[in-house]
Amino acid sequence: MARLLLVRHGESTWNARGRWQGWADPPLSDLGRAQAEAAAPAAAPIDAVVSSDLQRALVTAELMAAVLEIEDVHVEQDLRERDVGDFTGLTRDEIEERWPGVLSDVAASIARDPRFGESVEQLATRVNAALARLGATFAGQRVLVVTHGGVVRNLERSFGVEPDPLPNLAGRELRVDPETGAVEAGERVLLLSPEDVPVTVPKQL
């Protein structure tokens, strides 16, 4: 089995402003960089580091890898955040002003109107394929995987768990069968204490 620790990236500049990101690529804030470095020791021991291709995740992964003395970060594009379509760059208040009531059931809204981004099924298909690839590549290893809140929370829903909001540098342990790609859910993990380094808890997907 491959043991994967999926975690949400550090705070981005758009997290700090409450803007929905999706496939947009804002950088980490200074706080986000500090969060990544502070959280790294709690992830150990780690054999490899993998990241989404979006810079808020990739820079988080690179900073953590440096602390953990892991040389390379493997990039997996299919672990990027859910595409949020026309919500991209907007705050919750701005979304509600433009499309009243659309956030009461985001999944249903997206299913009705593809302008609002990827469906649950589309997100699950690409993420599950990425996890299967990681399971085969890193069989027998423990891997830190830096991804996004929407990715982790959608996985949790697929496990039958209604997820709580996911702070920065929090996530979930997974076990992936290297032959079948089957995924088993482990425990929620918090790598940072809010008392040590503040964290952002998104009110999004």
Active site residues: 9, 81
Strand pairing class (170-176; 183-190):
antiparallel
Cβ neighbour number for residue 23 with a 10 Å cutoff: 15
Residues 6+ positions from 99 with CB-CB distance below 8 Å: 109
C-alpha gyration radius of the chain: 16
Task: Looking at 106-147, list the stretches that DSSP marks H as alpha helix, in order from N- to C-terminal side.
Answer: 106-112, 120-137
φ, ψ dihedrals at 113, nearest 5°:
-140, 105
Pick from 78, 84, 86: nearest CA to 155: 78
In our burial notation (b when 16+ CB lie closer than 10 A, e otherwise), range 110-119 reads beeeeebbbe
Enter the DSSP assignment of 12.
B
Contact yes or no for 50/74 (Cβ under 8 A): yes
42: part of which helix (H) or strand (E)? helix 30-43
Cβ neighbour number for residue 3 with a 10 Å cutoff: 19
